[in-house]
Amino acid sequence: MLDTRPAPPPARGAHRTIRPTGVERTFAADELIVSKTDPRGVITYANDVFLRVSGYAARDVMGQPHNLIRHPEMPRAVFQLLWDTLAQGQELFAYINNLASDGAHYWVLAHVTPSHGPDGRLIGYHSNRRKPSPRAVDRIRPLYDQLLAEERRHPTAKAAVAASSRLLAETIEQRGGSYEELVWSVISSEER
């Protein structure tokens, strides 16, 4: 049974920083990591695979922002694209590197969709993540490294995300497609 009690609040002034260890964690190809959030990105549901792979107890993630598992070496431009796409009511597939509670990381192919209530009003977001092939990660990593390098050249988060978002858009335009087509081309190469 999952422990869904809220985590105790951190001590006043305490800030937990998780440092990446470089250790890669994985999960089975037939497993799905599933989470749901409210419209602000606050976690309202996490399945047992999410909890096991991320190393968190349910009480530690419920009510927390989903960026709790954001790896610092994941380009902000990808998350900007994700939120912009969701704001348009569209789904997005993206390769994402997540950070576990112990500093390990795990790559996923995420499929994030808006969730609507019976009246059609946005009630949150639903994300299913599956294990990508190592070949897919190898193909996406150079682009993400370029985006991160661009972000590191700027002094503020706002400037960094704007610059890396421009670079992502330019890169996609040069390839003659969209981010979704880029992701699907990587997925297709996995199946060959």
**Tokens (6 digits) for 178:** 């969209």
* Residue 192 clears pLDDT 60, i.e. is over it: no
Per-residue pLDDT band for 6 (boundaries 50, 70, 90) equals very low
Residue 66 CA neighbour count, 13 Å, CB half: 23
* Residue 43 clears pLDDT 50, i.e. is over it: yes
* Residue 155 clears pLDDT 50, i.e. is over it: yes
Per-residue pLDDT band for 14 (boundaries 50, 70, 90) equals very low
pLDDT for the residue 10? 43
Four-point Cα dihedral 110, 114, 117, 122, nearest 10: 140
- Exposed, middle or buried: residue 94 (CB in 10 Å: 0-12, 13-18, 19+)? buried
Per-residue pLDDT band for 189 (boundaries 50, 70, 90) equals low
Q: What is the pLDDT of residues 44-87, one digit of tens each?
A: 999 999 999 999 999 999 999 999 999 999 999 999 999 999 99
Mean pLDDT of 128-134: 95
Q: What is the pLDDT of residues 99-122, one digit of tens each?
A: 999 999 999 999 999 999 999 999
Mean pLDDT of 143-169: 95
Mean of all residue pLDDT scores within the chain: 89
Residue 3 CA neighbour count, 13 Å, CB half: 9
Per-residue pLDDT band for 3 (boundaries 50, 70, 90) equals very low
The count of residues in the chain is: 192
Mean pLDDT of 26-35: 97
**Tokens (6 digits) for 176:** 């003659």
Amino acid at 135: R
- Exposed, middle or buried: residue 6 (CB in 10 Å: 0-12, 13-18, 19+)? exposed
Residue ranges of domains in the chain: 33-191
Range 33-191: architecture per CATH:
2-Layer Sandwich (3.30)
CA–CA separation, 163 vs 154, rounded Å?
A: 8
Amino acid at 182: L
* Residue 29 clears pLDDT 60, i.e. is over it: yes
Amino acid at 38: D
